[in-house]
Each structure stands twice: as C-alpha cells, then as structure tokens.
A = this chain, B = another copy of it.
Amino acid sequence: MAEPNPSVVIVGGGFAGVGCAKALAEHDVDVTLIDRNNFHQFQPLLYQVATAQASPADVATPLRDLFRKHPRVTVKKATVTHVDPATRTVSTAEGAEFSGDYLVLAAGTGPNFFGVPGADEHALPLYALRDATRLRDRVFELFEEADTTPEVIEQGALTFVIVGGGPTGVETAGALIDLVDDVLAARFHDLDVATAARVVVVDHGEALLRPFSESAHEYVARVLEDRGVELWLGRGVAAVHADRVELADGTSIPTRCVVWAGGVSPTPLGLADELTTGRGPRLATAADLTLVGHPRVYAIGDVAQIADHDGTVLPQLGSVALQAGTHAGHNIRRHAAGRDTEPFRYHDKGIMAMIGRNAAIAELGAHRHELHGHLAFTAWLGVHALLMSGTRERVDLFVSWAWDYFTKNRAPSIVESTDGIDWDDAGS
C-alpha cells in the first residue's frame, strides 16, 4: 500500500528535525516543521557566543532560509505543548493544531537542574541561544561593575563557577579563562584581572569529559589547571544562591555567575509515561526510530533514547541527532511506499572538545585515534566549520575566529546601558 503524497509534521528544528526535513524536502512529501524559535541553532558553539567569540547570527540560521527553495516545506514558529501520538496531532501554546500522516518528535532538551535548590532561579544554563547571550551579558556586566565598584570583587563578582565537567562545561571554562586572560586583562586598566578573576569547574565525578579516554581526562585537567582554572572534582552542588554556590560538603564559593552545564532533560511534550524510558526520562524508540507502539511516529535527537544496531544506547550528540533525522526521513519514505522500515545504524566519526586557544582533544573514528593540542584544535575548527548548515555562518565564523586568534580581540563583547535616560525605554 503506497501513499502518493504523505504529510509529515516535525516538531523541533535542531539537528534531528532539520536532518529529517532535508531528507524529505526533495521528495513528494508535504512537511510542516515547527519550532518555538524561527531559527536553527548550532548548539555545540553556544559557548562561543557566551564568551564573545561569535555573534548570535554566527551560530544560528533562520529555518525558513534553509528551506526557502523547498515550497513543500513550511516552517511554523510555535511552541508545542501537547502531542497525541494516536492521531498524530500536536497542539501549540498559540492555540493551533497540526497533524500529519507521519509525526516526528525532535524537540530536544533543556537543562536538568536535578532538583538542586536555587539552580533554576540563579544558575545560567547554556542550551538555547538566549542562554548564551544572557551569560555573555552577565560576564561583561560583572566586569563593568567590578571596574566601577572594586569592593564587589571580594564578594565573588569576578568568580565564575561552572557546574558540570562534560564537554559544555569544559569548553565554557576554557573559553572563559581565555577571555579573561587574553582580552579582559588588557582592557580594564584599573583592574588587576589576572588575580581578581577566577574560573572554577565543579563536578561530582572525579574526571572531566568522561566520554573520552583516561589520557584525555588527564590532558584536559592539565591544560585547564595550567591556564589557571580551578578544578573542584568529586564534589556535588547542594544549592545555588544569588551570591554563592553551596557544595555538598558544606563549603561555599562566593559567586554571582553560576553556569549550569550539569545535565539535560527532554522538552516536555505531554506524552504518557509508558512511552518514556531510561534517564531523563527520554522517549522510548524501536530500532527503526519509531516511538514504541506508534509506527507512524518517530522520536529522534536528544528527546529520544536511541540505540545503535547492536543495542548500545547512543550518546546525546549532534552527529547522532543529524544521522537519526536523515534515517527517520528515509524510513518515512520507505513506509509510505509500502516497504519495510530499516533499523538505525550510527556511523561514529568520533568526538571532539575544544579546551581553549590552541588546545583541543579529538577521538576520531571507530578506533578512537586520539589527537591532543594544536592538531586537534585545527581539526576541531575544520570539522565544526564543515558541519555548519549555512555557508554564510561558516565564512563569518572563520573571520571571527581568525580575527580572535591573531588579535586577541572580541567585537561581540558589548554591553548596553541599562541606566535611566528617558528615551531608552520609549517604544519597548
């Protein structure tokens, strides 16, 4: 039984949702791609926006631009609040409903505060573009405040605490210490930035970057410590306050900037508990990436627990999401043509993390060939530039990186006045 012109509703415009839409865009399929933002964000580089190495437009592309040559792909900016897998219908906060012959759930994740008191209110996550600009603004505002009122330094105004030693935490810590030492120290003539500013990484585990090898753990720790990052490992966070972070062992670190890189939880879609599994919990999928029990509903990307062909649960990575999106599109076309779907098989090209200027680690290919330092830094730049969806972003970002690298200069680090001259608030 073949369906000639199936319709597909995709919830989420991240790597998974865009990958799926692209796999369908050239075929006789009507696609509705729904996202609560009108852009696709390059999530692995948000920390660069947070540390003023990149502008928001460098790491985000309007979704409608990605599909402007595909009239059968319609993008809708809406927030999905409820999903009915039986009727393949989604409802939005704006009061609209969308349904299709197939439904793809790729709504991604947000931060998981694990119930730590105050984290929700006082910590800054790093999962959305707005998180990144908010963190960037906070960093620069704190330096401005310390310049105006140096007394606040003792109260932790220039102490930046990162909770979580995974890739996001490590990349943010490395980029922050570079920003402090290379850029801000030269800018603030009245501050002794080198001694006043602190970057601290707290993790309840004993190693940074756990998905990497043991030698990588040591390399990362050495690089960060050499640059002056304090590593507080094996210590859980008990609470986050406006003026300090409290650890499980009772010690406190005075700070007004806590970056939450401590874990993720799936975007809530109002689905029944029996459709979820594992940590998070995430949506449970069959081998062909369909939601268990719903052969016309797919669950892909970070919102889903995805297993490789051998049953291994795959990590929540951009490359897994992208490949799963493409595969879901492929299976939808097979199913619509009356053919059997195929199980997902992940092609592991490796993992990478940037630790700072000239330091990165990469474990490439199935045999985990390991690269450290300069070479890994270059590989990291190249791979990320190639992964980006739009050429414009690629060119801009390279200009940005090259400029940053050669001049230790950062244009995006601007802070606007929030003071009270009347016309500032006009029209807002």
Contact = CB atoms under 8 A, between A and B. Distances in A.
Contacts of A38: 140, 144, 414-415
Given A396-B396, A417-B36, A121 B411 contact: no
B399 A76 contact: no
Interface in A123-154: 123-125, 127-130, 134, 140, 144, 147-149
A278 interface: no
A421 interface: yes
Contact of A134 (B57, B111, B428): B428
A56 to B, nearest CB: 7
A120 interface: yes
A65 B396 contact: no
Contacts of A149: 94
Interface string A94-126: 101000000000000011010000011111110
Contacts of A130: 416, 424
Interface in A213-233: none
A110 B421 contact: yes
Contacts of A392: 403, 407, 409, 411
Interface string A386-428: 0000101101100110010001011111111101111110111
Given A121-B427, A189-B74, A61 B419 contact: no
Contact of A411 (B119, B393, B424): B393
A355 to B, nearest CB: 24
A416 B57 contact: no
A204 to B, nearest CB: 20
Interface string A56-92: 1110111011001001011111110000000000000
Contacts of A140: 38
A93 interface: yes
Interface in A145-199: 147-149, 186-190
B190 A427 contact: no
Contacts of A252: none
A37 interface: yes
Given A93-B419, A426-B111, A76 B147 contact: yes
Interface string A231-243: 0000000000000
18 contacts: A36-B419, A39-B414, A62-B410, A62-B411, A62-B414, A65-B409, A94-B149, A120-B423, A120-B427, A122-B427, A125-B423, A125-B427, A128-B424, A130-B424, A260-B427, A267-B421, A392-B407, A392-B409
The 7 closest A-B pairs by CB, nearest first: A64-B187, A36-B417, A39-B414, A110-B423, A79-B419, A57-B412, A57-B411
